[in-house]
């Protein structure tokens, strides 16, 4: 797919699915803006893309802070002037039961997983209108197959799908599309942290919870995201694409 001359911002682009998406977009010609809280890691990843012939930069943002999101919008407007895509990828998960939950469990997950994608779209909308730019929001199979002790994360990820449909309805007047990708369990830092041993274990896991009986590689999720941003998806909007190896259907 050809993204030459296009500017695309990826939140949480320093690790996991976000970085896999940034790498793929850069490989396909896009200038990738890695918007992240982890400055040192994000700069390293942007440099890695540049060393491989791509174009990328780091943009600081604290997605739990609406003012930081507003500043991101202003910074990107000053530097680029136009956006051709937004990937709302960043997310956090903290386990908690309904009966034991408190504000510490509830507020960070809702603010980053659900509120931030809406605020990012709002802050960047003037730039996306000019593209026009398309939006891909990242949900999760957890939004469709909820579990005990994960109600905040699961609820936020279910809400992402409704948010996406609202975006699609509201932004079509600007020639924009909005879609959701709902990944299954993936081999990312969210699950293996800094442990190479745990990563290898996950890569070799036989996962009976999905038809394909394995976990996803981040690059497989990235391929779906890039497709939905591309002109090949020109008549697809308000849709959730499940990239979960058959988890939801199983």
Q: Is 31 a catalytic residue?
A: no
Exposure string of 191-206, with b = 16+ CB inside 10 Å and e = fewer, is: bbeeeeeebeebeeee
Q: Which of 31, 60, 153, 174 is catalytic?
A: 153
The Cα 58–Cα 39 span in angstroms is 8
Q: Which single residue is written with the structure tokens 């058959």?
A: 246
Q: Is 222 exposed, middle or buried (0-12, 13-18, 19+ CB in 10 A)?
A: buried
As annotated, the active-site residues are 153
């Amino acid at each position: 797919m050809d993204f030459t001359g296009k500017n695309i911002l990826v939140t949480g682009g320093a690790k996991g699915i976000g970085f896999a998406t940034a790498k793929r977009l850069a490989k396909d010609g896009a200038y990738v803006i890695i918007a992240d809280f982890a400055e040192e890691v994000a700069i390293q990843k942007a440099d890695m893309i540049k060393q491989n012939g791509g174009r990328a930069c780091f943009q600081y943002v604290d997605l739990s802070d609406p003012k930081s999101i507003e500043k991101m919008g202003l910074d990107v407007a000053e530097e680029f002037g136009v956006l051709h895509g937004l990937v709302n990828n960043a997310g956090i998960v903290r386990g908690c039961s309904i009966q034991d939950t408190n504000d510490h469990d509830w507020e960070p997950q809702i603010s980053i997983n659900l509120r931030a994608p809406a605020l990012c779209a709002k802050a960047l909308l003037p730039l996306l209108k000019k593209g026009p730019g398309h939006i891909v929001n990242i949900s999760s199979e957890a939004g469709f197959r909820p579990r005990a002790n994960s109600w905040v994360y699961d609820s936020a990820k279910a809400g992402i799908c409704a948010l996406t449909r609202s975006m699609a309805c509201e932004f079509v007047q600007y020639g924009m599309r909005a879609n959701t990708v709902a990944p299954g369990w993936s081999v990312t830092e969210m699950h293996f942290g800094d442990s190479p041993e745990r990563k290898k274990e996950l890569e070799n896991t036989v996962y009976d919870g999905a038809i394909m009986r394995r976990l996803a590689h981040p690059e497989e999720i990235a391929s779906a995201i890039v497709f939905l941003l591309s002109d090949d998806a020109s008549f697809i909007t308000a849709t959730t694409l499940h990239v979960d190896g058959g988890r939801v259907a199983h």
